[in-house]
Structure 1
Amino acid sequence: MATSTLNGDIATLSSDYKKAIAEAFLGNSKDLDAYFRLYERRFKNDQRSGATTQPSQQPPCCVLHEDIIKAAAILKQKSHLTLGAIREKLKTEVSPRYSIDQLNFLLEFTMQAMLMIDAVAPDTKPYKVGRHQFTLWSEGESLLDFVTRCFPQVSAERRDLVGQVVADKRSLKAWKLKKRLHITFEATDNLANHLLFDSHKRIIYVFHHAGYLKAHLNLWQQSGADARNVGITRAISERTLSPRLLAETLHSLQSILFHYGDTKSNEILQKLVNEEGFDPSCEEANGYLPFKDGLKDFMYTYWGDRLAIIHAFTLDRPPRGRIGKLVKRHTTDRNLFIIAVMALLVSAAVGIIQTAIAWMAWKDQTNI
């Protein structure tokens, strides 16, 4: 789509750009309001020049929309290349006029639009949420290695544990987490942060772009391929993510946290949609194509460990008050045993005293 063909009406121009981006990455432009809200929030649309601009950049860092689509094609074909090599490839094959800042912005936009991952941000330090530390795409790391690192699979040793957690998914309903453990839910636009749990702040980060997930699953469904065992390598070469990863993400939203049959959890979801900008598509449960909806043996290959961390927190139920925290901090298994024995002795002593009092009362009555 050449820029020269888009010098029409401003409203039509914006619509044309949205349609081109959506069809390039998602196959259609329907039910993607949240996707485009993110697009418009993170990137300012310069409708006169047909470019996206980074508002914080001085002067504005303009990147053509058509170049984003070209960059995505290169990323799909060259996923084995490192970040540095891909940046050089973009400079020679997309536009030699782009500066380093513009190339980084182009990559940032493309990775967000294509894979919904935060990848390139200069001078950004690694950040930690709960037990998880996230680092962005490093210079000598290939695209494939970076995406694989973003979505590690559950180890063979932990599969049984994850299976037990999923079997007890009723304990992970949103209303139970909120009422019993005072946990809140915060939207994230970075798929790699899905289900990260900050136990200190009691926040679960939720990737809420259900429309994006459904669109990609529909692409796999339409392809006619057996998508159950498609890994990250093949998925990226076909412009999308692993269908199992997509299905697990949607399942965790609609069949665990905000179960479509659970009224209390759906009330929380409605509030998140209305007040916190969650994707309204989260409320539309229409299955996990090409995976069958409602399978009892639905396996969690990618998000199982994060569900297990949340589940463990529900079992532990840490105390909230200062006294409760102090007691827990100084309580060991040995202390618990001693306390139990002392409680038993106290109970026995109370019983003896009560018996003695009752006997003395009886004796007094007989002496009258």
Structure 2
Amino acid sequence: MLPPTEIERQDIVGEIFGSPLASQANTTRFETYFRHYCSVVCPASSGDTVIQLDSPALRTHADILSSLKLLTHDPTITFEAFSNQAVNRRSSEATPKEREHVARVVVEVAFAINCSLKDYYSLNFADGGFRHVKWERNVPFSHFVESSFQLRPAHAQPSDYRGRLADMMKRKKALKAWKLKKRYGLKIRGTNNLLEHLAFDSKTKTLRVFHQVSFLRGHLAKTKDDSLDLTFHESLKRGTLPPRLLVETLLTFHDILFPVASVSDKKSRTTLEAMIQKHDFDAEGRWIEFIRPTPADMEFEYWGDRLLALANLVKEPPPANAVVAWFERHTSERNALTVAILGLFLSALFGFLSVLVGLLQLILAWVAYRNPLVSS
């Protein structure tokens, strides 16, 4: 499939982000989004090294949008039902891999979720709370999306959870991206998969950040007049994700990692600019755009756990190198106590010996005084 034309771009933006934004489809606002779109939909044309998968069910960009309408019309549709309706009507001989490809493409470009990760994703991301997800055969789409995010509503929070989050927000300056890079040696890399946002890979010391700011704003605009706590089912019917999830993601980006709204925070702006130039972050992240007001008592029900994990990482930084890591892994609390006791014993022993030496010197001096040598 070839990259979308200007007219097709307008259709795509109108369907995914809403008709009011269709006129901006060919501006720089959606430049980063369409680079990702092309890498997913038509990777052979974007310069990536890929194995081309010819899917008869997705011949045009209009096919993607018509398949998306199946999900928004009935978010409870199962993978099997979606596959039958989206694929069979165009190609009854599609293989299971082709069917999975169709679902992955549609869900990824419309909702920034990779729904086929379970088979091959890196285990290291378990350190950051990342869970393997896959839209299974008989699972409703809305259930798959909702279960993929770790929502922690108020009634399900531990007694000290809100207190720890409040304390973390008081110390959020320590979580600025430039500090994470310079002081703690973390690598920050962008991700186009919302499920990876704030996931930390301890093996490579890499923090993933969802950087598609225009995607978040575009989706948030679709429900700006709805309740912040709109359910997954109702949100998906509107062709978007829950507004609370979108607002939280934007806040972690612009209020914690890259607080570029602060005129005096030049280091954050410089760091973000470097991420845009070197790591293809969305250039729209340079600007602040207010889509809807943020409640004064806003809490992180989706990203709270990962923010706390990041705060703990800052409080107890990872080893600076492999040698320090080895000693930390092989030094238990019992060993540390033994070393401390041994050190105390040796200090006492050497102190006692020092007293003996001093006493001996005193005795020798007294003897020399009482028996002075007579020179010849």
Which category of TM-score, normalised to the shorter sequence, fits these structures? 0.7 to 0.9
Q: Give SS of 1:275's match.
A: helix
Choose from 137, 142, 145 the match for 1:139.
Answer: 137
Alignment coverage as a number of residue pairs = 344
Residue in 1 that maps onto 2:283: 280
> Of 123, 129, 145, which aligns to 1:128?
123
- What do the CA deviations read for 1:136-176 (whole angstroms, capped 9, x no partner)? 21112210121012211124124443443333322211122
**Distance (Å, rounded) in 2 between the aligned partners of 1:354 and 1:234:** 79
Matched, 1:210 2:219: no
Paired residue for 1:112?
A: 108
Q: Greater CA radius of gyration, 1 or 2?
A: 2
Asked whether the equivalents of residues 186 and 205 of structure 1 are also in contact (C-alpha less than 8 Å), the reply is yes
Aligned to 1:51: none
Q: Does 1:21 align with 2:22?
A: no
Shift of 1:337: 2.9
Question: Which whole-Å deviations, capped at 9, do the CAs of 1:196-255 have from their partners, x for residues lacking one?
Answer: 11011000111110011111222222xx22x22212121111111011100111111111
1:106 deviates by 3.5
C-alpha distance after superposition, 1:77-132 (max 9, x if no partner): 2211210012123346x6466834655444323212221111248x9435423323
What's the secondary structure of 1:212's corresponding residue? helix
CA contact (8 A) 2:67 2:106 kept: yes
Quick one: distance in 1 between partners of 2:68 and 2:183?
44
TM-score of the pair, normalised by structure 1: 0.81
Q: 1:168/1:351 Cα in 2 relative to 1: closer, same or farther (>3 Å)?
A: farther
Change (3 A) 1:135 1:360: same
* Pair 1:90–1:98, CA change in 2 (3 A): farther
Q: Match of 1:233?
A: 233
Deviates more, 1:259-268 or 1:349-358: 349-358
Conserved in 2, the CA contact under 8 Å of 1:26 and 1:216? yes
Paired residues of 2:56 and 2:94 also in contact (CA < 8 A): no
Conservation of the 8 A alpha-carbon contact between 1:34 and 1:279 = yes
Aligned with 2:289: secondary structure? coil
| Cα distance in 1, alignment partners of residues 173 and 44 from structure 2 | 47
Q: State the alpha-carbon separation in 1 of the partners of residues 300 and 120 from structure 2.
A: 30
The partner residue of 1:44 within 39, 42, 45 is: 42
Distance in 1, matches of 2:58 and 2:357, equals 90
Q: Is the Cα–Cα contact under 8 Å of residues 228 and 290 in structure 1 kept in the other structure?
A: no
Taking the aligned partners of 1:45 and 1:326, their CA distance within structure 2 comes to 42
**Please, which moves more after superposition, 297-306 or 65-74?**
65-74
Deviations 1:258-312 (A, max 9, x none): 22233223322111101111101122123462425xx4x4311111112222222
Q: Structure 1 residues 45 and 21, CA, compared in 2 at 3 Å: closer, same or farther?
A: farther
Relative to structure 1, the CA distance from residue 64 to residue 102 in structure 2 (aligned partners, 3 Å threshold; closer, same or farther) is farther
Kept in 2: contact 1:181–1:317 (CA 8 A): yes
Aligned counterpart, 1:317: 317
Q: 1:99 to 1:208 in 2, by over 3 A?
A: same
For residue 156 of structure 1, what is the amino acid of its counterpart?
Answer: Q
Name the CA distance, whole Å, in 2 between partners of 1:79 and 1:26.
Answer: 17
Which segments of 5 or more consecutive residues in structure 2 lack a partner in the other structure? Answer: none
- Give SS of 2:198's match: coil
Instruction: Choose which of 44, 59, 67 in structure 2 pairs with 1:63.
Output: 59
Secondary structure of the structure 1 residue equivalent to 2:59: strand
Matched residue type, 1:128: L
Is 1:270 paired with 2:265?
A: no
RMSD: 3.3
1:185 aligns with 2:188: yes
Change (3 A) 1:358 1:63: farther
- Residues 221, 291 of structure 2: 8 Å contact kept: no
- TM-score, length basis structure 2: 0.79
Compared with structure 1, are the counterparts of its residues 272 and 98 closer, same or farther at alpha carbon in structure 2 (3 Å cutoff)? Answer: farther
CA–CA distance in structure 2, aligned partners of residues 137 and 264 of structure 1:
41
Q: Which amino acid aligns with 1:19?
A: Q
Instruction: Give the letter aligned to residue 124 of structure 2.
Output: V
Tell me the equivalent position of 2:201: 198
CA-CA distance at 1:342 after TM superposition: 3.9
Change (3 A) 1:59 1:190: closer
1:340 is matched with: 340
Determine the C-alpha separation between the residues in 2 that align with 1:275 and 1:99. Answer: 39
The question of whether the paired residues in 1 share the 8 Å contact of 2:104 and 2:114 is answered with yes
Which residue identity lines up with residue 339 of structure 1 in the other structure? V
**Distance 1:349-1:251 versus aligned 2 partners, 3 A rule:** farther
1:279 maps to a residue whose letter is D
Alpha carbons of 1:266 and 1:130: their partners in 2 closer, same or farther (altered >3 Å)? same
Residue 195 of structure 1 contacts residue 205 of structure 1 at CA under 8 Å; is this kept in 2? Answer: yes
Cα distance in structure 1, aligned partners of 2:342 and 2:354? 18
